[in-house]
Amino acid sequence: MNFKTIEVKDKKLILLDQTVLPGKTVYNSYEDFRDVITAIKRLEVRGAPAIGIAAAYALALAVEIRADYDLNGLKKIMVDVAREIKDARPTAVNLAWAIDRCLAKSYQYEGESVDEYRTIFWNEADAIHAEDIEMCDAMGRFGAELIPDGSTVLTHCNAGALATGGIGTALAVFYKAAEMGKNIKVFADETRPLLQGARLTCWELMQAGIDVTLLTDNMAGYAMAQGKIDAVITGADRITQNGDVANKIGTYAVAVLAEKHNIPFYVAAPESTFDKELETGDDIIIEEREPDEVTNGFGIPTAPAGVKVFSPAFDITPHNLVTAYITDSGIRPGGRTK
């Protein structure tokens, strides 16, 4: 990859601003955790793994700027900071998972040094980042074995290097398949309303030299009916214990279409995306976005002023529509039997 989604230099968090891609390549530098929260909310950084990494670094930034606190005061304030970061985007489980992991590590500290306490957060954020790179590589290897040479695969939204600390989840499969010498073609859904498929997935795959064709979201069914798609691979923002999947809005429709046309539907996600607390998709809080993202996309009015808008950012794909889960520890069977 000739770009980095997340980087740290001199205790500053540097994020590739995904709101201006593909027209511009802009990197923003942050020293204040509150600015990172804003960046997460406005989708400057997005994708469940990448959000988790950014959240972990936001905690590290928070503990760094609280120079006027003693150790006990710092420990107390970090609990409040953690809660504030968690509220940035409630659906993606990696955000809360990363925050809880960093806090749990800090609770183990029994020393009296403020500097040592601060270092715990930086080290844990670095570890989460490094582990994600390895997990992406593993998912790519496992998933590439599922895709025959010559296949055309549909993907929805962006689950690549832009959404992770490594080479991606769903898109990692394409990168690894290409490394294996397989001739893989990709169809990318546009992904309304913010066009992550068009703006991000197509840009990313073209950077890597992967053959990609753009579709609007409502073309997927026709492409399947025409025999143009051999498999579907998406990412996931949260997977419950029974295997229900929360992912970008529109994923459910693609899964239904895939089952109708007897096309395998795969979900690529690290083990950290599996929620150990929630049993089914009914328990997942679905984030709703601002109406302007639909009525004035990218600043251009596309609907009558004042019209009511329903704009969930995610939907739930039931486990019985999933053929298999591609994880960093291997392939898990899904609930779909045909």
Evaluate whether residue 168 is within a structural domain.
Answer: yes
Q: Which of 222, 251, 244, 243 is nearest to 314 (CA)?
A: 251
- Contact predicate 138/174, CB 8 Å: no
Determine the average pLDDT of the residues in 319-338: 96
pLDDT at 67: 67
Residue 69: which pLDDT band, with cuts at 50, 70 and 90? confident
pLDDT at 65: 79
Evaluate whether residue 14 is within a structural domain.
Answer: yes
pLDDT tens, position by position, 119-163: 999 999 999 999 999 999 999 999 999 999 999 999 999 999 999
Q: Identify the domain containing residue 252 by its residue range.
A: 141-333
- DSSP E strands in 64-178: the ranges are 152-155
Query: Which of 115, 136, 157 is the C-terminal boundary of a domain?
Result: 136
Mean residue pLDDT of the chain comes to 96
Angle between helices 48-65 and 93-107 (to 10 degrees): 40
What's the longest Cα–Cα distance across the chain?
67
pLDDT at 66: 64
Supply the residues annotated as catalytic.
Answer: 237
pLDDT at 284: 97
* Range in 67-76, 153-162, 234-243 with the lowest mean pLDDT: 67-76
pLDDT at 2: 83
Residues 130 and 153 in one domain: no
Q: What percent of the chain has pLDDT over 70?
A: 99
- Give every CB contact of residue 311 below 8 A, 6+ residues apart in sequence: 193, 288, 289, 290, 291, 293, 294
Residues 145 and 286 in one domain: yes
pLDDT at 338: 81
Evaluate whether residue 338 is within a structural domain.
Answer: no
Query: Which of 136, 169, 198 is the C-terminal boundary of a domain?
Result: 136
Evaluate whether residue 285 is within a structural domain.
Answer: yes
Residues 108 and 24 in one domain: yes
Determine the average pLDDT of the residues in 40-55: 96
